[in-house]
Chains A and B, each alone.
Chain A
Amino acid sequence: MLYALLCYNDEDVVWAWDKAQEAEVMGRLAVVRARLAKAGKLGPSLRLLPTTAATTFRKSDPPLVIDGPFAETKEQLLGIYIIDVADLDEALAVAKDLGDANPGGAYEIRPLALYNEGSRDAVAKGAVTA
Chain B
Amino acid sequence: MSDLAWINAAISAARPQAVGALLRYFRDLDTAEEAFQDACLRALNNWPKNGPPRDPAAWLIMVGRNAALDGVRKRSRQTELPSEDLLSDLDDAEERVADRIDAADYRDDVLRLLFICCHPDLPATQQIALALRIVSGLSVKQIARAFLVSEAAMEQRITRAKRIVAEGDAEFETPGPVERAERLAAVAAMLYLVFNEGYSAGDNPARAQLCGEAIRLTRLLLRLYQTEPEIMGLLALMLVQHARTPARFDADGQIVLLDDQDRSLWIGPMVNEGLALIDKAMRHRRPGAYQVQAAIAALHARAPTPAQTDWPQIDRLYAALERLTPSPVITLNRAVAVSKVAGPEAALEMIAPLADRLSGYFHFHGLTGALNLELGRHREARVAFDRAIALANTAAEAAHIRQHLDRLAHDHAPAGGAAK
Contact = CB atoms under 8 A, between A and B. Distances in A.
B136 to A, nearest CB: 10
Contact of A21 (B1, B232, B272): B1
Contact of A53 (B12, B212, B273): B273
Interface stretch (B277-285, B288-296, B312-320, B407-415): B277-285
A111 B219 contact: no
B280 A55 contact: yes
Given A21-B5, A88-B279, A15 B10 contact: no
A113 B274 CA distance: 11
A52 B283 contact: no
Contacts of B1: 21, 24-25
Give the dominant DSSP class at B's interface: helix
Given A10-B10, A21-B1, A16 B216 contact: yes
B83 interface: no
B13 A16 contact: yes
Contacts of A21: 1, 5, 9
Interface residues of B, number: 28
Nearest to B220: A12
A89 B279 contact: yes
A116 B276 CA distance: 20
B279 A50 contact: no
Contacts of B227: 67-68
Interface of B: 1, 5-6, 9-10, 12-14, 56, 212, 216, 219-220, 222-223, 226-227, 232, 235, 269, 272-273, 275-277, 279-280, 283
Given A12-B13, A113-B273, 16 more contacts: A12-B216, A15-B219, A16-B13, A17-B9, A21-B9, A24-B1, A49-B272, A49-B276, A51-B223, A52-B219, A52-B232, A67-B227, A68-B223, A68-B227, A112-B269, A113-B272
Interface of A: 10, 12-13, 15-18, 21, 24-25, 47, 49-53, 55, 65, 67-68, 87-89, 111-114
